Amino acid sequence: MDYKKIYESWLNDKRLCAEGRQQLEAIRDNEEEIEYSFGAEMQFGTAGMRGIIGYGTNKMNIYTVMRATEGLAAFIKKLGPAAMERGVVISYDTRLKSDEFARASADVLAANNIKAYLFGDVHPVPMLSFAVRQLHTIAGIMVTASHNPKQYNGYKVYGEDGAQMSPEDTAVVVESIEKVTDFLGSPAPTAEQVKKYIKPVPASVDRKYYKALTKLTLSKKAVKACGKNLKLVYTPVHGSGYIPVTTILKKIGINATVVQEQTKKDTDFSTVQVPNPEFKETLSMGIALAQKIGATVVFGTDPDSDRLGVAVKNAEGEFEALTGNQVGILLLDYILTRLKEDNAMPANPAVVKSFVTTGMAKPICQNFGVELFEVPVGFKFIGEKIKQWEADGSHHFVFGFEESCGYLRGTHARDKDAVVASMLCAEMVCYYTYKGTTVFDRLNEIYKKYGYVLDCNVSIQYKGLNAMAEMNAVVDGLKTAKVNKLDIYEIASVRDYSKDEKTDLATGEVTPIGSPKTNCVYYELKTGSFVCVRPSGTEPKLKIYYSVKANNKDDAEAALKKLQAAVEELLKKVAAD
């Protein structure tokens, strides 16, 4: 059906809510907006769905959310009565309509005679993941758009292990969603079904979560000596991290000064341009407070509190926003150092990172005798490693991280956990304060010991209904492009993750990567650096990752400029061909 006809069918449907009718009437003369809203359907991928809030088949609204939940309900019903009784736990963050979408999801499940555990207030991603595991539900739903701008919301589905749903199960759910052709026809539960099937998440789940985190502390002596008087600033950036982060810090005895203006659940995120704490601008109020009280570290969490951003005071007294890679290597180094100092390193220790995450992880792990594993982008792949090792006992998970500010220590959750990362960050500040140094000084010591690595990623924004297809076409073009050098830097091998193949350019030998397939091209340079190009799975952006190994910062920055210019030319050539 033509998008104009779909638009008219929604507008003329008596089941459409008053708000929806008003918004659709307002765009009647806006052809471009009608096409965007109805020219496609929300894509449900391995990370769920995410989009701009509004009415239409291609936007986040109560109807697209209920339709997605109908698909999930059909999947669960096929698993049988036991799965329906185990049910689904549902959480949500502070975004616009998150609570409404969560309740609508619970209603659809109840109408299908499936139990739904609904949190009574905002809870972050890691606590949702933990609750799935604690309550032994068959699935979980998290309503969030993570760190996206305020105009967005999203819907993520978790499997029974607490990790984001596997690609195999997601494919079945998508098939069920596609069979729901009446967007406005989701069934409403009876009063009896609501009473029988919609249950609150027990308060004991929160208590057990905090207890699990306290077992992961590494520096009790340093915390006892420095924790109460620590000068550390935290901001939840109006998100769901406020209660859990301040609660866990209080429980382990660390004082953090909170940016009070950003504790409010503000759906407009009015004090920041974008609620993404990896940007220095997002942490600006925290930095101003840190300068006022004499703190050297500022950290913040995003709306669903699965990402942690950190800024530290440098040698010149200015605050620098650390990249996700830098925070990752600091936490990795800290965790391994403390485990070694306390003779607490487990047998067969293992660290997991995404393949686009810093090359610095490899020498650090080698130094500590810890095995490093690489997985595709998406924390569910880190969760799969944990699940595998719990089953076969081959390795002991120590730490997992991604360059996109996602970190996990412990196996209590199977997704990024900015609450445990905040705890470790604060504890790390205590540890270095106790030793008479700073986090910034330790970062420079790491560079001095292992060599300088400059990590950078660039995003190219795409727009329109064909954005995803256009981005994938660029990556497909790179697979067939003949390239041996990027500027003066020779390429040692090329990885095509869509085929699970690595080609050695010197010998022509093709070997398997040993990784789940994803559309991505990765260039390994002879210098030990790498460049990687992939389409984002959650936003219309083509992402280019650089990890540049050099003798020092100046050399690395010079090399990065050359590589960026070379990649820009390569992308132009691919587009022209």
Q: Which residues pair with 522 in a beta bridge?
A: 495, 532
Residue 90: per-residue pLDDT: 98
Tell me which residue of 298, 268, 266, 261 sits closest to 283, measured CA to CA. 298
> 457: number of CA atoms within 13 Å, CB side?
23
Q: Which helix (H) or strand (E) holds 140?
A: strand 139-143
Whether the CB-CB separation of 390 and 371 falls below 8 Å is answered with no
Give mean pLDDT, residues 242-260.
98
Would the CA dihedral through 390, 396, 399, 400 be positive or negative? negative
Q: Which residue has the tokens 């699970």?
A: 500
Q: Which of 482, 332, 327 is nearest to 494 (CA)?
A: 482
The encoded tokens of residue 393 equal 């006992």
Contacts of 563 (CB under 8 A, 6+ apart): 486, 487, 489, 529, 531, 546, 548
Cα–Cα nearest to 128, from 516, 419, 453, 331: 419
**Can you tell me the distance from the alpha carbon of 116 to that of 105, in angstroms, rounded to the nearest whole number?**
9
Return the structure tokens found at 218: 């590494």
The tokens for 357 are 């995450």
* 424 in Cβ contact with 254 (< 8 Å): no
* Coil vs helix vs strand at 178: helix
Provide the token pair at 283. 């942490």
Strand partners, 312: 297, 320
User: Catalytic residue numbers?
Assistant: 146
Q: Which structure tokens are listed for 508?
A: 């022509």
pLDDT of 45 reads 78
Nearest to 323 by CA among 337, 335, 307, 336: 307
All domains in the chain, ordered by first residue: 40-200 (3.40.120.10), 209-450 (3.40.120.10), 453-576 (3.30.310.50)
Give the mean model confidence (pLDDT) for residues 455-481. Answer: 89
Section 2-30 average pLDDT = 97
pLDDT of residue 299: 97
Of the candidates 299, 60, 74, the one whose C-alpha atom is nearest the C-alpha of residue 173 is 74
Contact 430, 230 (CB under 8 A): yes
25-34 confidence digits (pLDDT tens): 999 999 999 9
Cα gap 548→525, rounded to integer Å: 9
Q: What is the CA radius of gyration of the chain?
A: 24
Contacts of 534 (CB under 8 A, 6+ apart): 356, 377, 475, 497, 518, 519, 520, 521, 542, 543, 545
Q: Is the dihedral of CA 117, 119, 124, 127 positive or negative?
A: negative
> Is the Cβ–Cβ distance between 545 and 459 less than 8 Å?
no
Q: What is the pLDDT of residues 368-416, one digit of tens each?
A: 999 999 999 989 999 999 999 999 999 999 999 999 999 999 999 999 9
Closest CA to 307 of 276, 331, 286, 338: 276
Strand partners, 320: 312
Tokens matching residue 188: 């409403």
pLDDT at 186: 95
What confidence tens digit (pLDDT) does each residue in 190-249 have? 999 999 999 999 999 999 999 999 999 999 999 999 999 999 999 999 999 999 999 999
**109/101 Cα distance (integer angstroms):** 12
The residue behind tokens 């020498």 is 363
Mean pLDDT of the chain: 96
Closest by Cα among 545, 543, 403 to 472: 543
What tens digit of pLDDT does each residue of 509-563 get? 999 999 888 899 999 999 999 999 999 877 788 999 999 999 899 999 999 999 9
Q: Please give the torsion angle defined by the CA atoms of residues 413, 415, 418 and 424, in that order, rounded to the nearest 10 degrees.
A: 60
Indicate the DSSP class of residue 143. Answer: E
Q: What is the DSSP letter of 556?
A: H
pLDDT of the residue at 207:
98
Q: What residue type is 508 in one-letter code? A: G
Q: Write the single-letter amino acid at 198.
A: I
Confidence bin at 576 (pLDDT 50/70/90): confident
C-alpha 258/C-alpha 245 separation (Å) is 10
Between the CA atoms of 33, 34, 35 and 41, what dihedral angle is there, to the nearest 10 degrees?
A: 110
pLDDT of 468 above 90: no
Q: What is the share, in percent, of the chain residues with pLDDT greater than 90?
A: 92
Buried b / exposed e along 265-301 (16+ C-beta atoms within 10 A):
bbbebebbebbbbbbbebbbbbbebbeeeebbbbbbb
Average the pLDDT over 30-40 and give the result.
95
3-state secondary structure of 497: coil
The pLDDT score that the predictor gives to residue 297 is 97
- Residue 552, token pair as written in the block: 């020092």
Residue 298: in which H helix or E strand, if any? Answer: strand 297-301
Nearest Cα neighbor of 384 from 350, 424, 421 is 350
- Output the CA torsion 212→215→221→222 (10° steps): -50
Q: Of 463, 16, 376, 473, which is closest to residue 167 (Cα–Cα)? A: 376
SS (H, E, C) 22-73: HHHHHCCCCHHHHHHHHCCCCCCECCEEEEEECCCCCCECHHHHHHHHHHHH
How far from 292 is each of 232, 288, 295, 422, 516, CA to CA, in Å? 11, 6, 8, 21, 48
Identify residue 90 by its one-letter amino acid code: I
